[in-house]
Amino acid sequence: MNLLFEFLHHLPEEQKKLLEKMKPKGTTAEVFQCMREQANSGRFNRESILQVSGITNAHFDKITSELLQKCYAFLFDKNPYDLLLFLSKKGVYAKHYYKEQKKIQQHIFKSGDTAEKKKFLRACINHIHLNMPIALKDKQVLEELCRKYVQLHTGKEKVFAAQWALCRTTYHQIDLLFAASVIKDDPSAVLLNLQKLPPPHTLADSTIQFECYWVWIYYHVAVENFESAISLAEEATKQLSKQNSSETELNILRLNMKLAELYYFTNRFQDSYASLSNVFNARLAETLPEYGYCLTKYIQICCITNHLQDAQAQVEKVAGYYGVRLDETLPVRDAISFAKYYLFADEYKKAFHFIQLGFQKNPKAKYFQYEIELRNLQTACFFLSGEKPEAVQMCERHLKFLRSHGYSVKESNYPYFYVLTKAIYLRQTEGRQFNATEAEKWQRYQQGTYALYGKLLECMLGEK
């Protein structure tokens, strides 16, 4: 696909209107007009532009490449940092981001200005780490950026740079293992990296101190050691409150967000809802680097605690942000959040739409945790919309999928969503009561990370 077409096609309306002021000339203007028309229609046709303009394929590629650069320069006033920040925040522009990042990096590294190199590399590391969903984070690029960043420092600054970079790469390592649901099986590789970091409370530098606490907290969340994560988050809040740094207020807000999430994991659902509501109402809320992730958890906790109007407001806000290109640009994580809200709101057609969209955006079950959630939601959607026999048939298929990945009823709680779905069906059709194991797992599905699906099971049982 042509990069200029993709850029124009996914561009928000506000920026599209700005580009109307851009006035290329001659054949370039002709190609630009055709590309804008095709981008608005959503259908790219190279041959029709070649016929209209009378140019060759090679000339077309040259013109569209130059036009893309002119669009970048026009919209972002030739500021590479603003451009890369924009591209990093929209998943559909991941290809654009990595291509431009490489090009700009080559230009900056020719200048010989060490301070500018440091600034650029740190910005790019943050773009990938903070703005991109896991599916779009390029591990090799991130590690190479971190390596170059550390090399630019000397003395004590190099120690701090190495610690900061190690926090970033280790966080990504946890991300990948967590998403694949394998980190609990063997956390040794992560621990080896974490143990290279100094104890966070011994650090004087507020930035490094926060980063060390943050990655350790994430590790404990990933291995489901939630009480340790809570203790660390509380300790971090206390330590950072002593720091006099421009980052302190935002970092403490991030820790409050993490505590709210941890309350959710430890069954303190109302506390989690109240804390997340406070975070969203805070002065710096929309500057949170994890704002999208926080939003996901907030929608979930609103569904669990039956604050559906709050969930609806956030779903509508996100939908408004993506606009007319919602389906094309919505990340899989948000598609799952939308599906959850619409299931609890009894809007099953909309829920089904976003479940299907989620599957499209997670091809071949690339991210296992997303796949589990989507299969759970699909089963619940069929059951709640009245297609109960079909939902029960799905259960067998999903159980087989889990067994093929090593998650049988003996080793995991995952299969019990489908076991309980079938048990609910038998209870409703034959009057059969839950057996002891099913009753035990029913209680497990009212707790922590399983609670949202426990609430869905309640809806399926008719206890909503």
Q: What gap in Å lies between CA 4 and CA 74, rounded to an integer?
A: 14
Given 78, 101, 123, which residue is the final one in a domain?
78
pLDDT at 284: 93
Q: What are phi and psi of 166, to 5 degrees?
A: -65, -35
The model's pTM = 0.79
pLDDT in tens, 385-438: 999 999 999 999 999 999 999 999 988 999 999 999 999 999 999 999 999 999
Q: What gap in Å lies between CA 199 and CA 297, rounded to an integer?
A: 29
pLDDT at 464: 57
28 part of a folded domain: yes
pLDDT at 244: 80
440 part of a folded domain: yes
Tokens 């790469």 found at = 169
Q: Which amino acid appears at position 232 of this protein?
A: L
43 part of a folded domain: yes
How far, in whole angstroms, is CA 439 from its chain's centroid?
34
372 part of a folded domain: yes
Given 78, 99, 125, which residue is the final one in a domain?
78
215 part of a folded domain: no
pLDDT at 398: 97
Contact 266, 230 (CB under 8 A): yes
Given 39, 54, 78, which residue is the final one in a domain?
78
| Closest to 200 (Cα-Cα) out of 225, 245, 236, 151 | 236
Tokens 């956390």 found at = 187
pLDDT in tens, 257-275: 999 999 999 999 999 999 9
| Burial of 360: CB neighbours in 10 Å, binned 0-12, 13-18, 19+ | exposed
- Three-state DSSP string of the chain: CCHHHHHHHHCCHHHHHHHCCCCCCHHHHHHHHHHHHHHHHCCCCHHHHHHHHCCCHHHHHHHHHHHHHHHHHHHHCCCHHHHHHHHHCCHHHHHHHHHHHHHHHHHHHHHCCHHHHHHHHHHHHHHHHHHCCHHHCCHHHHHHHHHHHHHCCCHHHHHHHHHHHHHHHHHHHHHHHHHCCCCCCCCHHHHHHHCCCCCHHHCCCHHHHHHHHHHHHHHHHHCCCHHHHHHHHHHHHHHHCCCCCCCHHHHHHHHHHHHHHHHHHCCCHHHHHHHHHHHHCCCCHHHCCCHHHHHHHHHHHHHHCCCHHHHHHHHHHHHHHHHHHHHHHCCHHHHHHHHHHHHHCCCHHHHHHHHHHHHHCCHHHCCHHHHHHHHHHHHHHHHHCCCHHHHHHHHHHHHHHHHHCCCCCCCCCCCHHHHHHHHHHHHHHHCCCCCHHHHHHHHHCCCHHHHHHHHHHHHHHCCC
| Closest to 340 (Cα-Cα) out of 388, 369, 308 | 308
263 part of a folded domain: no
Q: What gap in Å lies between CA 91 and CA 97, rounded to an integer?
A: 9
pLDDT at 413: 93
pLDDT at 135: 84
132 part of a folded domain: no
Contact 124, 44 (CB under 8 A): no
Domains of the chain: total: 2
| Closest to 354 (Cα-Cα) out of 370, 384, 374, 371 | 374
| Closest to 219 (Cα-Cα) out of 164, 269, 173 | 173
- Tens-level pLDDT at each residue, the chain (464 residues): 799 999 999 998 889 999 999 999 999 999 999 999 999 998 999 999 999 899 999 999 999 999 999 999 999 999 999 999 999 998 899 999 999 999 999 999 998 799 999 999 999 999 999 999 888 999 999 999 999 999 999 999 999 999 999 999 999 999 999 888 889 888 999 999 999 999 999 998 899 999 999 999 999 999 999 999 999 999 999 999 988 888 899 999 999 999 999 999 999 999 999 999 999 889 999 899 888 888 899 999 999 999 999 999 999 999 998 888 899 888 899 999 999 999 999 999 999 999 999 999 998 888 888 999 999 999 999 999 999 999 999 999 999 999 999 999 988 999 999 999 999 999 999 999 999 999 999 999 999 889 999 999 999 999 65
Q: What gap in Å lies between CA 333 and CA 338, rounded to an integer?
A: 9
| Burial of 376: CB neighbours in 10 Å, binned 0-12, 13-18, 19+ | buried
pLDDT at 155: 94
Q: What gap in Å lies between CA 95 and CA 330, rounded to an integer?
A: 16
Neighbours of 53 (CB within 10 A): 18
Measure the CA angle with vertex 265, ends 282 and 230; round to 5°.
70
412 part of a folded domain: yes
Sign of CA dihedral 432, 436, 442, 445: negative
What is the torsion angle, in degrees rounded to the nearest 10, for the CA atoms of residue 455, residue 457, residue 460 and residue 464? -30
Domain range for 369: 362-464
Q: How far apart are the first and last CA of the chain?
A: 47
